[in-house]
Structure 1
Amino acid sequence: MSALGDPISEWAGGFATGGLVHLNGNSLGPPRVDLTDRLAAVVTDQWTPGQVRAWFRDGWLDLPRTVGDKLAPLLGAAEGQVVIAGDTTSTTLFNALVAACRLRERPVLLIEAEAFPTDLYIAASVARLLGRELVVESRDGFDTYLGEHGDRVGVALAAPVDFRTGRRRDIGSTTALCHAVGALAVWDLCHAAGVLPTNLDTNDVDLAIGCGYKYLGGGPGAPAFLYVAARWQSEVDFPLAGWHGHADPFAMTPDFVPAAGIDRGRNGTPPLLSLVALDHALEPLVAVGIDELHRRTKELGEAFLAGLRPDIEVVSPRDPDQRGGHLALRLPDADAVEHGLAERNVLVDARPPDLIRVAFAPLYVTPEHVRTATEAIHSVLAPPN
């Protein structure tokens, strides 16, 4: 049996791929084949007979915590520190950033220039709202600024994987650098959760957020998750004080009293069906475990590189330990390449101006898919000179 063979390839048959090669799981991957059965059971066996009583009878109200605790091992977090807040990634990031800034009354909110655009937009909005100075630095400048002006930084927002190139930033050393100067570290795990060990507890992370629809496979618009280290949970003050984050939601009191622990990060009524879909998607990921998922992702990436024509420029680090779950190729007219691959049943995505991202979600991408993808890329591109 080869390193890229079974048994992990057997998981691929459990996904409804529609005969396509899904190399864009860093945006949206396929559902598991029995997802419709799970959702139908909730509608038929819980919602229909229970109606509003199902919130209590079938555990619906507890799902944000239940699913959060199921996700926690993939993030390297102990129970009681992750909740599916029921919001979009943008809303959850806003909530986390404001809360972090309230814990550190310092003038600067620091972020990398290469951050995902939403992170830049939200950070700028938070800075305006709280009267903070937003400092946007290059990747290397981020560390330099912390070293030279760290006493001014209240919160630093970073991501362990560059969404364009896949290049990694080390969570442990960056968080330690933040803490050495008295700043808090907030992490965006959207392009890491499900393929990369993040070890949030071991790395002493303060707060983190991430989406449910990329490598976690929760489906389009799946709700985001929120991590708050246990040491901050009695102090953290979220700006979005929804009734489900109240200590006694059904008391309907006029004043907000935050719930104990991670539940104070909840807001409005949970998006039940989306939570069920995310819960369902997490089952095989948790069963395999993050270390095996990461190993498989690296091996698939290495196999892809081995089969790629040497004249194609690879922007991502060649060292698999220095990148996340995807590789970025620099190709002229990347949009046309993306469409050409789609016509050959290979799904990737383009990022302007000239990058193609190829992602290796470990449970439904197989060595055969990798070979198909490299052959398709070569057929789309003009022959080398």
Structure 2
Amino acid sequence: MTTTPLDFAMRARALDEADPLRGYPSRFLGSDDPEIVAYLDGNSLGRPTRATAERLTAFVAEAWGGRLIRGWDEQWFDLPVTIGDRIGAAVLGAAAGQTTIGDSTTVLLYKLARGALALRPGRTEIVLDRDNFPTDRYLLEAIAGELDLTLRWIEPEFTGGVTAQDVADVVCERTALVVLSHVAYRSGYLLDAAAISAVTHDAGAMLLLDLCHSAGAVEIELDSWAVDFAVGCTYKYLNGGPGAPAFGYVRAEHLADFTQPIWGWMGRESPFEMAQGYVPATGIRRIISGTPAIIGMLPIQDTLDLIEEVGMAAVRSKSVALTEFALELARSSLVPLGVRVSSPTDPARRGGHVTIDHPRFKEITARLWQRGVIPDFRPPQGIRIGLSPLSTTFAEVLAGVSAIRDELTTD
């Protein structure tokens, strides 16, 4: 029996009506913009919440404009750790004192990787994969060059990602560090972090996870998985805004001996003493270097408010439902037109986005943007359908996939 467009429209309407999170999309700016038919890029840049617009306005007028420099004594100094603890509890499965907000993802990844390698002296290899995000690969290539280390590359399946067996096949007594993305940026593959952590530790190495495409979309349990280090951005599913500062996690057992390479005054013990010589702060504050980006941290709090209201289990459930619907639509209306699904079909191995491939997608993406349907393009010929659970509706998914179908059938 063929499913008609009307059938899918009725399905989308029913799914939205039954959605436990149906009231949340309206809490984001742009949700009622008639020019945006479907925003399918929340895995690159999340929408701002309405509360964030109010928070930023109030901050400029009252905190920054009213309290001025006194704000450092009253709140700002502790904000990186305060928000870090909230992210740890609500999103990362991490106890307090292990997470902080700081620099860009790239800078934090550098700090954590260098600090981790220092904890495994004498070991000479870093394990990573060819399908990881470019920054991760470039950065580790640079570190390997600096320290005269060897990179051991994993070659994952195009539509999949790194498995525990893949890691087991390359780690050995020479491995110092394994660096992987929890959700693959292109395929959306969700790796088995607990199993990979066990394999890594059996070899005496340490695990550093990039959580950029998983934080706020899938459930994470860093503490129970025994992950050593993690880093992630906040401008995707956490809606922190363009260039919002990233978060870094260091497992409690490593903090006392952990030394990161970019020493700055805000990461020093008693920084306002302006004393001679660097003495790292106790605990997670030692990850901080210079003055933190306070304004950039503010929007994150509003998304954390929402996640704390509903819990990550509900967020994950909505994420799975959205991607399942996107895959159903793709199989019905796009695959017959030559589109290839390049994401895992098993929801247990899939993050919050779905990637589809077609030779015409680069040109089609530009046209989709012109008609108010906004996914993103990933080379060589992929469209990522990024579905942010708190702000995306099933109707948007249908509208977006329908627009892709229309463009494919247009000469």
TM superposition score category, shorter chain reference: over 0.9
Using the TM superposition, give the Cα deviation of residue 281 of structure 1 relative to its aligned residue in structure 2, in angstroms. Answer: 2.8
Using the TM superposition, give the Cα deviation of residue 149 of structure 1 relative to its aligned residue in structure 2, in angstroms. Answer: 4.6
Query: Which secondary structure state, in structure 1, belongs to the residue aligned with residue 224 of structure 2?
Result: coil
Aligned residue number for residue 72 of structure 1: 88
Q: Distance in 2 between matches of 1:314 and 1:193?
A: 23
Using the TM superposition, give the Cα deviation of residue 61 of structure 1 relative to its aligned residue in structure 2, in angstroms. Answer: 0.8
User: Which sits farther off after the overlay, 304-313 or 88-97?
Assistant: 304-313
1:29 to 32, 46, 49: 46
Using the TM superposition, give the Cα deviation of residue 286 of structure 1 relative to its aligned residue in structure 2, in angstroms. Answer: 2.6
1:3–1:371 CA distance, 2 compared to 1 (3 A) = closer
- Write the mapping of 1:1-385 to structure 2, written as runs, cut at 5 A: 4=16, 5-17=18-30, 18-19=33-34, 20=36, 21-57=38-74, 59-73=75-89, 74-85=91-102, 87-105=103-121, 106-139=123-156, 143-144=165-166, 146-147=168-169, 149-308=171-330, 309=333, 310-311=335-336, 312-382=339-409
Q: Deviations over 1:23-79 (max 9, x none)?
A: 11111021112322101111111111221111112x011110111111112111111
- Runs of 4+ more than 6 Å apart: none
1:161–1:145 CA distance, 2 compared to 1 (3 A) = closer
Using the TM superposition, give the Cα deviation of residue 6 of structure 1 relative to its aligned residue in structure 2, in angstroms. Answer: 3.5
- The aligned length equals 382
Query: Which secondary structure state, in structure 2, belongs to the residue aligned with residue 222 of structure 1?
Result: coil
TM-score for the superposition, normalised by structure 2: 0.89
Using the TM superposition, give the Cα deviation of residue 383 of structure 1 relative to its aligned residue in structure 2, in angstroms. Answer: 6.9
Q: Distance in 2 between matches of 1:381 and 1:272?
A: 45
The question of whether the paired residues in 2 share the 8 Å contact of 1:217 and 1:282 is answered with no
RMSD: 1.8
Using the TM superposition, give the Cα deviation of residue 320 of structure 1 relative to its aligned residue in structure 2, in angstroms. Answer: 1.4
Write the letter of the residue equivalent to 1:373. G
Query: Which secondary structure state, in structure 2, belongs to the residue aligned with residue 29 of structure 1?
Result: coil
Query: Which secondary structure state, in structure 2, belongs to the residue aligned with residue 111 of structure 1?
Result: strand
The question of whether the paired residues in 2 share the 8 Å contact of 1:112 and 1:142 is answered with no
Q: Distance in 1 between matches of 2:287 and 2:76?
A: 17
The question of whether the paired residues in 1 share the 8 Å contact of 2:52 and 2:298 is answered with no
Unpaired runs of 5+ residues, structure 2, are: 1-12, 157-161
Using the TM superposition, give the Cα deviation of residue 170 of structure 1 relative to its aligned residue in structure 2, in angstroms. Answer: 0.9
The question of whether the paired residues in 1 share the 8 Å contact of 2:177 and 2:206 is answered with yes
Query: Which secondary structure state, in structure 2, belongs to the residue aligned with residue 273 of structure 1?
Result: helix
Write the letter of the residue equivalent to 1:68. G
User: Which sits farther off after the overlay, 115-124 or 299-308?
Assistant: 299-308
Q: Distance in 1 between matches of 2:164 and 2:226?
A: 19
Write the letter of the residue equivalent to 1:119. D
Using the TM superposition, give the Cα deviation of residue 7 of structure 1 relative to its aligned residue in structure 2, in angstroms. Answer: 3.3
Using the TM superposition, give the Cα deviation of residue 332 of structure 1 relative to its aligned residue in structure 2, in angstroms. Answer: 1.3
Q: Distance in 2 between matches of 1:142 and 1:9?
A: 37
Percent identical among aligned pairs is 34
Q: Distance in 2 between matches of 1:277 and 1:321?
A: 30
Using the TM superposition, give the Cα deviation of residue 144 of structure 1 relative to its aligned residue in structure 2, in angstroms. Answer: 4.5
The question of whether the paired residues in 2 share the 8 Å contact of 1:160 and 1:188 is answered with yes
Q: Distance in 2 between matches of 1:227 and 1:50?
A: 31
Using the TM superposition, give the Cα deviation of residue 303 of structure 1 relative to its aligned residue in structure 2, in angstroms. Answer: 1.2
User: Which sits farther off after the overlay, 95-104 or 282-291?
Assistant: 282-291
1:206–1:267 CA distance, 2 compared to 1 (3 A) = same
